[in-house]
Amino acid sequence: MNTRRHDIIVSMKTILFVYGSLKKNKARHRLIEGQKFIGISETKPIYRLYNNGTFPVMVEDEKNGISIKGELWEIEENCLNFLDFVEVHPWYFKRTEIQLSDGFIVQAYLFQESVDKLEDCGEVWE
């Protein structure tokens, strides 16, 4: 009996909420070019956005949080691994689950250092 082995390559994809330099027309967007844009979204009001100089940082803040506006992207595993390297995951930014205003759970990079001396950005980073 002649049997054939079929190799199946399964590409894992992650829905990533981006709020800063990875957004369309921003400095680091080239890092996710070729990935699938899903649309505009916003978080549940339990996060804050701060200006860290040339890029924003998002942190969880259940007490004083607001909805943060951003974009949703479907990111392939190899691109996500590279983003983890660039974002110094999990030390500088940690890729973790966040809640969107519509109840969906996606992933985003949350800042892991103090924001005490950073300026608040409001709901969107332009």
CATH number for the domain harbouring residue 55: 3.10.490.10
Structural domain contains residue 123: no
Structural domain contains residue 58: yes
Structural domain contains residue 1: no
For residue 5, what pLDDT is reported?
Answer: 47
Count of domains forming the chain: 1
For residue 9, what pLDDT is reported?
Answer: 52
pLDDT tens per residue across span 6-41: 455 556 899 999 999 999 999 999 999 999 999 999
Dihedral sign computed on CA atoms, order 50, 102, 33, 23: negative
Structural domain contains residue 93: yes
Range of the domain at 93: 13-115
Radius of gyration over every alpha carbon of the chain, rounded to an integer in angstroms = 17
Structural domain contains residue 7: no
Structural domain contains residue 8: no
Structural domain contains residue 2: no
Structural domain contains residue 121: no
pLDDT tens per residue across span 73-120: 999 999 999 999 999 999 999 999 999 999 999 999 999 999 999 999
